[in-house]
Amino acid sequence: MNNNIETVDARGLSCPQPVMLTSKAIKKLNKGTIEVLVDSGTSRDNVSRLAKNSGWAVTVEEQSEGNYRIVLKK
């Protein structure tokens, strides 16, 4: 069931755009898997908080120093 994976590339964007893009993807998908790419600890925390508050399961992988892949599942 890979057809429900959405990728949000929020690398390099200022606050609050990473959260806004994730929020948009959450509303659009409602269910499934969302992969969010960010490049700061702030965006990692903000995106994770938004997703958890919206009832999504969150896993964070650090890809390289300061670059994160956040996987949201519902």
Partner 1 sequence: MSSILHFLTSRWGPVITGTVVGVLAPVLVMLGNPGNMGICVVCFTRDIAGALGLQRAGVVQYIRPEIIGFVLGALVAALAFKEFKPRTGSAPLVRFLLGMFAVFGALVFLGCPWRAYLRLAGGDWTAIFGILGLITGIGLGIVFLRTGFSLGRSRPAPKALGWVMPAIMVTLLVFLILVPQFGRDASGNPTGPIFFSTTGPGSQHAPLLISLAVGLFIGFLAQRSRFCTVGAVRDMIMLKDSHLLNGVIALIVVAFITNLILGQFHPGFANQPVAQTNEWWNFGGMALAGLAFTLAGGCPGRQLFLAGEGDGDSAMFVAGMLVGAGFAHNFSIASSAAGPSAFGPITVIVGLAICIIIGLTMREAVATAKA
Residue ranges that bind partner 1, judged by CB under 8 A: 2, 5-9, 11-17, 19-21, 23-25, 35, 39-42, 45-46, 49-50, 53, 65-66
Q: Which is nearer to partner 1, 16 or 57 (CB)?
A: 16
Contact 71, 44 (CB under 8 A): no
Which residues, 6 or more positions from 71, have their beta carbon under 8 angstroms from its beta carbon? 33, 34, 35, 36, 58, 59, 60, 61
Judged by beta carbon, residue 17 or residue 57, the one nearer partner 1 is 17
* Least gap, CB of 66 to partner 1 (angstroms): 5
